[in-house]
Amino acid sequence: MIKVAMVSVYVDDVAKAQAFYTDVLGFETRTHIDMEDGNLFVTVGAAGAQADLEVLLEPGQGPIAEPYRAALRAADLPCIVFSVDDVRAEHERLGALGVTFPQPPTEQGPLLTAVLDDTVGNLVMLSQPIG
């Protein structure tokens, strides 16, 4: 069986992304390595769950990352989708913490979704099955 182990999200600033994804979204840091070149290698994951699935907070500079990220933003597309038990509750909680939502909770077919700005260059979707 093949399973997803790690996905990458390009970010403007890895340290700032780590703080947002842990302190605001509630993820836990799984790996934090200060690299010899001054960069960071940081992965985060759902706190207390899915130990075999991590999000790599990847430096978003360079000839591949920059056009990719610009195209996603120009199309208003999220770079990643996270599932939550209650989109409306997360919208309220995160909104109270100052998180910006370009798309508030919206029904999209069988899903309730909301899109937030992760403060490091990306749109992130929260998703909940309806019913």
| Predicted pLDDT at 38 | 84
Are 58 and 10 spatial neighbours (Cβ–Cβ below 8 Å)? yes
* pLDDT at residue 59 tops 90: yes
- What is the Cα–Cα distance from 17 to 1, expressed in whole angstroms? 32
| Predicted pLDDT at 32 | 97
Please give the structure tokens belonging to residue 20.
Answer: 């947002």
| Predicted pLDDT at 94 | 98
Mean pLDDT to the nearest integer, 32-51: 93
* pLDDT-based confidence at residue 105 (cuts at 50, 70, 90): very high
Q: What is the rounded average pLDDT for all residues in the chain?
A: 96
Start-to-end Cα distance in the chain: 29
Report angle CA 72, 83, 65 to the nearest 5 degrees. 25
Q: Tokens 């500079």 appear where?
A: 61
Q: Delimit the domains of the chain by residue range.
A: 6-129
Q: Note the pTM of the prediction, 2 decimals.
A: 0.94
Candidates 1.10.1040.50, 1.25.40.10, 3.40.50.720, 3.10.180.10; CATH matching 6-129? 3.10.180.10
Mean pLDDT to the nearest integer, 72-86: 97
CA 92 to chain centre: 17
| Predicted pLDDT at 120 | 97
Residues in the chain: 131
- What is the Cα–Cα distance from 17 to 9, expressed in whole angstroms? 10
Please give the structure tokens belonging to residue 112.
Answer: 């309730």
